[in-house]
Every structure is written in C-alpha cells, then in structure tokens.
Structure 1
Amino acid sequence: MSTAFLLVCALCLDAALGEPGWLWSRIRHPAVMMGNVIGWLDKRLNQGGQRRLKGVAVVLLLVFGALVLGRVLALLGPVVEVALCAILLAQKSLVEHVRDVGEGLRTSLIEGRAKVAMIVSRDTRDMTEAQVARSAIESAAENLSDGVIAPAFWFLVAGLPGLSVYKAINTADSMIGYRTDKYRDFGWAAARLDDVLNLIPARLTCVMIVALSGQWARWPQMVADARRHISPNAGWPEAAMARALNVALAGPRSYDGKVRDLAWVNGDAPRDIGAPEVFRACNMLWRVWGLALGLLSVWVGVSFFL
C-alpha cells in the first residue's frame, strides 16, 4: 500500500475517533511516553557546564531512537502504521479544544478563561473576551500546522520513522525549547531542529488557508506579518487565519506576570472578537483537513491508474 493511501486512512481514523479517553486512561499515549523520556533526560543532563552540547546529544539520541522505533513498528504492517499515524495526528482533538473555548465564552468570561488556559501557556486570569478568543484562534492556527499538517507531511515524506522523529522533536521543543535561563542552552538544539522540521509545513498550512479563503491579493501583507512574528513558523498560519476570519491576532500578552509587547497580525482588522470568531476558526480547521484529504485522495487515485 502507498504511504499516501495509509495517510488518507489515518486522517479519517483520527477525525472519527480523536483521542478516546477510555484508551488513554488504560495505557500511555505515545506522546506521553516521549515526554517521560525527555523529562528524564532533562532532569539528569540539564545541569552543570556544556549544556548546549548536552542538549545536542539529547536531540541526536531522540532522532536515532525515533528512527529505529519507527522503522521497527512499520515492520508490523499497514494496520499498525495507520493506527499509530492516527494517534499522532491531532485534528479532532484540536477542534474539540478550540470549540470548548468558544462554548466557554458563551457561558461566561470566567469559563472561557478556564478553557483557553488548557491550550495556551500565557497568563489567562485577567484576559478580556477578545483576548481569550484571539488566544484560541492563534492556538488553532499554530496547532493546525504542527499538530496536523506537519505530522502528515513527515509521514508522507518518510513514513512512520519520519513521523516519529517529528513528534519526538516537537515534543522536546514544547518541553525544553524555551528562551529561559534554564533552557536557553539545553533546549537550543531541540528548538532549532523543530524550526527546521516545521519550515515547509507552516508555509503549506498558510497556503491552504489562503486557497480556501481566497485571500491571495493580501499575500504580501501576510508575508510581512509572518516575518515580524516572534516565531519563524507560527506567524505563517496565523497571518493566513487572521485574514480568512478578518480579525486581528497576536499583539501584547502576558507570560509569568510580564507583559510582552508583540507585533499585531492583521492589526487593522477588528480586535473586539468573541465566540463566533472562535467557531469560524473551527470551521476553517475542518476545511483545511478536507482539502488535505481531497488532495491526497486525488494523489492516491492518480497513482492507482498510472
């Protein structure tokens, strides 16, 4: 079976089942196991001197281990490949988490803050309704790229080994890839490699959103916003999502009690937004998923007749 066909099956399986709680309450999710390994390495190696060198060694170990594990698991057959790929995709769970923020805002601002706190790392206690909505939409755009399109891309390029490497590095970046005193050196290699692995998927996600929203005429402004963004990759899907929904994203936000005056994305668009815009973002998540599925299905069909 072709890798594209397996990916089509995995995308459909993830969309149908998402993250079944009954399963992960009984066994550990692969991402959790990756996180446990990274946490163990962090605890033992992130101390003393030569932290950047130690961080590089951790990344090399993760890449090698993920490659070997992915190759071994792929030998178990296409059913295992499809199941593992579906598990490591996050389409349905992403939509559910973002939609929960919209539903929370419909109930109350306090409930909206509680829901968005589950998907962002910034301070949420004093957020306004617009800030909650913006945070949810930004998370939707960024995680569409690194939780759906990037895993699918690397599975398509290199099968289960490629997907395993991507998830290992992406998990490492989320745990140790911070610009803090503790992780600036130790997490440097994980953060830089994650940037490289997301370089194409982030721009691909942007193009897909633009194609669906018909915002090609505003491409130069999107590029400018993406280049001003704090992240070399997250700004691309955010810039596209902001224009698809006609909302302003990013801007100042608080981390650990300190306000960071970050650049606005599509800053001239409306900033006073709420639950309706969050639900529209969820709709765009499914539209991008549908476009990806459609393109892959055409690829599989054409390959079948060639």
Structure 2
Amino acid sequence: MFFGVALIAYITDRLFGEFPFIRHPIVLMGDFITAFQKRFYRDSILRGFWLVFWLLAAVLAIVTPITLIGNPWILGIIASTGIAGKMLYESVNNVLSDPSSIRYLVSRDTQNLSESEINKAAIETYAENLSDGVIAPLFYLLVFGLVGLFLYKAVNTLDSMVGYRNERYEKFGKVSARLDDLLNYLPSRITAVIILTFFGKLSALKKTWHYGAQHESPNAGYPIAAMALSLYVSLGGPTSYFGTIKNKPYFGEGKREITDGDVRSALALQWKLDTLVILLLAAGVYA
C-alpha cells in the first residue's frame, strides 16, 4: 500500500489544486487521443482497441521510470495531478454564484435550464465525479501506486472523449467504455457508501442499489442515488442532450425542485471526506 504517497497527493491537491504552470497530464493524454483519431480513426472496435493499447503503453513507459525516483514527496506531488478534489469542489461551488458555468461541467443542453435544473445538474456532477475524480484515483494509487493511478486516469480520459454510444464512437469507443466500466465498478460503490455514511443514511443502502441499477451506466447511478437519498431530493429525470429529450429515470424519492441550499448541503460533504481520507491515510503511514 502506498499510504505516504497518497497522503501527500491528497493534501497537495486540497491545498493547491491544479498547477497552472505545467501542461496537465490529463491534457497530454487528451492530445494523444485527438492525434490518434485524426490519423487512425476508423469505425472499428479493433481500431479503438489499438487506441487504448498505445495510450496505456505510452503512460506505462513514461510513469514507470518516474516511480524509480523513490522519493515519496516527489511522487506525491506528481500523483496530486491525478486527483481532482479541489477543482471539483470549486467548480460546483462556483455554479452557486455563476449559474451559467454549469455548461463547463455537464454534457447536457444548458441553454434553457431552470434554476432547479441547474442545481440538479451541479449535484449530479458532484456526486458522480467524487467517484471518478477522487475516490477511484485514490483507490488505484493506494493499491497499484503511481502507475495504477495514471493508467486509471488514461482509461477515464479515453471514456470521456470516445466512450459514447453514437454513430462515430459506438464501435471505436467500445473498448474504452467497457474498460472504464470495469475500473469504476468498485470505486463507484465505495463512493456511494461513503456518501450515505456521512449523511447518516446507511439504512438507505438497499434503495441506493435499487436506484443505482436503473442508470444506463453500470456505475454512475450509485453515487447519484446515494446523494439523492441523503438530501431527500430526486435527481435524474428527463434531460435534453443535443436537442433531444432523454427520459432518464429519477433517482431518489424526495422533492424535484432543487435549491441552492441543496447544492450547499451536498458540498458540505467535502470537509468530512477530507477529514476521513487524511486520517485513514495518516493511520496507514503510521501502521
């Protein structure tokens, strides 16, 4: 277990967030994916497999020598670039003062969203990305070290860029999407349990599993359902994407009019999460 590196990484992210003076590793991965598509894209599962293969091979070739440094402080600072806790919190919190900023956080149509729909989108984004941006990276960093962290981030970046079920990516992005589903299976459910625990709603675990399973993603629904049940709100529901309404199921059993106060209640989870993670990682270092 890489407790020391993970502790340094988490605290560094919470204190400093993204480093504006470097080109972020995730951006570099995105550049690789874009360049590969421009030259090698075909409507083919095999061609999509080669995209995954070469990106993961490149990440492995770059990160493995870095791990030989052996200095936990250097490794922890590098690892912090794979954790997005501060950026996630600030981005969602910013929606409260600048509702139009929701367009940077979601893929749904945002031009005509009501205040309630903006707040709902903000809470859903926060819940889902607690898993993708915080818990999952920490999980793979703890278990597999720096290599595990950045391989996970590579797969997650692939899914965010090509893992769509549309005409262009149905085949090309299939391997990326399925691998992302596999890697997020445990972290998404761990995140749901953490949310329920902090809100004192572990009794709603069975309902969380019921609602979570209704999401079209095998993983995203669980943290969203946990947050909805914890806040007594209903998330999900009909949502517009590219001008077409998608009739998504509702997650939760509470009110459907989502307020700024509900967003603040969701964000209040952050200091509890910070305390838990830092204490657990510190205990791991001590042990």
Instruction: Please confirm whether the aligned pair reaches a TM-score higher than 0.5, indicating the same fold.
Output: yes
Partner of 1:37: 32
CA 299–78 in structure 1, closer or farther in 2 if over 3 Å, else same: closer
Cα 1:285–1:252 shift into 2, 3 Å? farther
Query: What's the secondary structure of 1:228's corresponding residue?
Result: coil
- C-alpha separation between the residues in 2 aligned to 1:264 and 1:35? 32
TM value normalised by structure 2: 0.96
Q: 1:127 aligns with which of 102, 106, 113?
A: 113
Deviation string, structure 1 residues 75-128 (Cα, Å, up to 9, x no partner): 223233111111111011100000001122xxxxxxx1x111110010011111
| Superposition pairs of residues 221-260 of structure 1, within 5 angstroms | 221-260=207-246
SS of 2:61's equivalent in the other structure is helix
| Aligned partner of residue 240 in structure 2, secondary structure | strand
Secondary structure of the 2:142 match is helix
More deviation, 4-13/67-76: 67-76
Distance in structure 1 (CA, Å) of the matches to 2:67 and 2:3: 15
The offset of 1:46, in angstroms, is 1.6
Instruction: Give the distance between the partners of 1:282 and 1:84, measured in 2 at CA.
Output: 26
- 2:50 pairs with 57, 67, 77, which one? 57
Q: TM-score, normalised by structure 1?
A: 0.90
Q: Indicate the SS of the match to 1:262.
A: strand
Please give the secondary structure, in 2, of the residue aligned with 1:261.
strand
* Contact 1:203 1:233 (8 Å CA) reproduced: yes
Does the CA contact (< 8 Å) of 1:238 and 1:265 recur in 2?
Answer: yes
Report the Cα offset of residue 289 of structure 1: 3.1
Partner of 2:198: 212
The CA deviation string for residues 137-196 of structure 1, in whole angstroms up to 9 with x for no partner, is 000011110001111110111111101100111001100000010001000000100111
The one-letter code matched in structure 2 to 1:80 is I
Letter matched to residue 82 of structure 2? L
What is the aligned partner in structure 1 of residue 61 from structure 2? 68
1:80 is matched with: 74
Q: Could you tell me which residue of structure 2 aligns to residue 109 of structure 1?
A: none
Contact 1:133 1:273 (C-alpha < 8 Å) held by counterparts = yes
The answer to whether the 8 Å contact 1:208/1:291 transfers is: no
* Unpaired segments ≥5 residues, structure 2: none
Distance 2:195 2:139 in 1: 16
Identity %, equivalent residues: 38
RMSD, aligned CA: 1.3
Measure the CA separation in 1 of the matches of 2:259 and 2:40. 44
Matched pairs, number: 286
Match of 1:4 in 2: 3
